[in-house]
């Protein structure tokens, strides 16, 4: 019988991993070396650094992270120690893409801009970035893509340089955090690159906080050169209070926190552990709970952008997420990191757009097409 230690914030963890044996739950940031003395498999999220200090002289022989990022995992150490490893790449890509689209539509409404008049530059075109490209094109934005590794591998004309991306009205970041090498992304958006962004543009970061130099960004924001919407931060959970106060929207690393994406992450790691153990998968998540209010009524006589904003916010309100985090600025300094973690641990139940039905007597054909492209169901009375 396997002994497992699992981050308590991974949904359905007990239900899924008890299939293998004794599944114990713990708070992700509290997992220590001493807790692993009798553990065979460790399942974490991004808040638990997994390295030699955590694993040396423990019986752990499999590590899974129910996240798309792996910068918290010393993958080379695991390989050297012959410890099995799996991530959940792509599990919450749709959730991240929906967050970005909600942010873009909100921005368009705030600036009273038509989506068809805006350009978007996507930096990092993997699982989430590809969906952002797809959704944004469906909404009528002009989209350019930057991904040097893909460009080298695919040798197509689908990608542009970072300099060209800087000319877009909106820039959305979806790169992994890499600290070295020709494709290093650590502080990729430094003072030099931030100065290249068009004045008045929007910068959205749902990748990793370290992709942007916070000091350089604060300087740009203080001079009102651009607007920034940040979901990720350097030194989480001890985030920069001054930067939080300067951004247009600031959320606690929850872009990928739809219930759909979380359960998908659990499923992928469960299947990976089955493969590692060479056993047949027996667990599948049952039907997911529905939203409290799955029907969305369309209001007549408003612009396309306003309609989209109201419909999207009825399904997912990114402004409410930002308001909750910005309360942190009113707390004592020693309480702010705790507030960040509490918001993540107690994140409200959120389903993806496909769980919602837009109801109306009559719908503009253009709005109908855009809603369906984003995954919404449509019902005409």
Average pLDDT over residues 45-55: 95
Cβ-defined contacts of 372-380 (< 8 Å, 24+): 373/134, 373/135, 373/138, 373/139, 374/98, 374/101, 374/135, 374/138, 374/139, 374/312, 375/94, 375/98, 376/296, 376/311, 376/315
- Inside any domain, residue 275: no
Number of Cβ within 10 Å of residue 112's Cβ equals 9
Pure H helices in 181-237: 191-196, 214-222
User: Which domain does 184 fall in, by range?
Assistant: 93-250
Catalogue the active-site residues.
208, 236, 253
Residues 194, 235 within the same domain: yes
Q: What is the CATH number of the domain that holds 363?
A: 3.30.1370.170
Count Cβ neighbours within 10 Å for each residue of 171-188 and write b for 16 or more, e otherwise. Answer: bbbbbbbbeeeeeebbbb
Query: 93-110 and 318-326 helices cross at what angle (nearest 10)?
Result: 90
Strands of the sheet containing 202-205, edge to edge, are 142-146, 119-123, 170-173, 202-205, 227-230, 249-250
Nearest to 166 by CA among 208, 132, 200, 194: 194
The sign one gets for the Cα dihedral 64, 68, 70, 71 is: negative
Residues 12, 57 within the same domain: yes
Tell me: the pLDDT tens digits for 272-325?
Answer: 999 999 999 999 998 899 999 999 998 777 899 999 999 999 999 999 999 999
Residues 120, 239 within the same domain: yes
Give backbone dihedrals phi and psi of 162, rounded to 5 degrees, phi first: -60, -35
Count of domains in the chain?
3
Domain boundary (61, 87, 113) is at 87
Tell me: the pLDDT tens digits for 117-168?
Answer: 999 999 999 999 999 999 999 999 999 999 999 999 999 899 999 999 999 9
Which CA distances in Å does 228 have to 40, 124, 326, 329, 366?
43, 18, 14, 17, 29
Residue 301's Cβ-count burial label (10 Å; 0-12, 13-18, 19+) is exposed
- Inside any domain, residue 290: no
Residues 100, 242 within the same domain: yes
- Are residues 104 and 120 in contact, defined by beta-carbon separation less than 8 angstroms? yes
Q: Which residue has the tokens 């005409």?
A: 380
Residues 64, 189 within the same domain: no
Residues 126, 185 within the same domain: yes
Domain boundary (250, 274, 308) is at 250
What band does 364 get if pLDDT is binned at 50, 70 and 90?
confident
Asked if the model's pLDDT at residue 330 lies above 80, the reply is no
- DSSP-derived letter for residue 120 is E
pLDDT for 107? 98
Residues 123, 8 within the same domain: no
Asked if the model's pLDDT at residue 375 lies above 90, the reply is yes
Strands (E), 227-352: 227-230, 249-250, 295-297
Q: What is the CATH number of the domain that holds 55?
A: 3.40.50.720
- Inside any domain, residue 46: yes
Residues 216, 135 within the same domain: yes
């Amino acid at each position: 019988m396997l002994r497992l230690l699992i981050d308590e914030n991974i949904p359905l963890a007990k239900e899924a991993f008890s299939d293998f044996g004794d599944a114990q739950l713990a708070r992700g940031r509290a997992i220590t070396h001493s807790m692993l003395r009798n553990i065979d498999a460790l399942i974490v999220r991004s808040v638990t650094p997994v390295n030699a200090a955590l694993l040396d002289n423990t019986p752990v022989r499999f590590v899974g992270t129910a996240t798309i990022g792996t910068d918290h995992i010393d993958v080379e150490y695991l390989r050297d120690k012959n410890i099995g490893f799996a991530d959940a790449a792509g599990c919450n890509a749709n959730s991240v893409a929906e967050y970005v689209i909600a942010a873009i539509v909100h921005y368009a409404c705030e600036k009273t801009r038509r989506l068809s008049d805006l350009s978007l530059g996507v930096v990092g075109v993997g699982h989430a970035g590809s969906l952002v490209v797809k959704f944004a094109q469906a909404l009528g934005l002009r989209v350019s893509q930057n991904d040097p590794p893909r460009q080298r591998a695919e040798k197509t004309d689908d990608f542009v340089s970072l300099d060209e991306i800087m000319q877009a009205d909106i820039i959305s970041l979806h790169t992994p955090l890499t600290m070295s090498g020709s494709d290093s992304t650590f502080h990729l958006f430094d003072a030099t690159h931030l100065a290249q962004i068009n004045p008045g543009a929007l910068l959205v970061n749902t990748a990793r906080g370290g992709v942007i130099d916070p000091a350089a960004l604060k300087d740009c924001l203080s001079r009102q050169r651009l607007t920034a919407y940040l979901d990720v931060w350097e030194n989480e959970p001890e985030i920069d209070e001054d930067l939080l106060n300067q951004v247009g929207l600031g959320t606690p690393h929850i872009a990928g926190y739809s219930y759909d994406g979380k359960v998908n992450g659990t499923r992928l790691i469960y299947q990976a552990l089955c493969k590692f153990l060479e056993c047949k998968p027996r667990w599948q998540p049952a039907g997911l709970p529905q939203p409290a209010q799955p029907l969305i009524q369309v209001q007549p006589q408003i612009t396309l952008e306003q309609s989209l904003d109201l419909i999207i916010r009825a399904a997912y309100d990114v402004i409410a997420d930002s308001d909750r985090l910005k309360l942190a600025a009113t707390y004592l300094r020693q309480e702010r990191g705790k507030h960040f973690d509490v918001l993540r641990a107690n994140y409200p139940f959120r389903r993806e757009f496909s769980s919602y039905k837009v109801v109306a007597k009559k719908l503009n054909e253009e709005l109908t097409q855009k809603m369906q492209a984003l995954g919404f169901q449509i019902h005409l009375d």
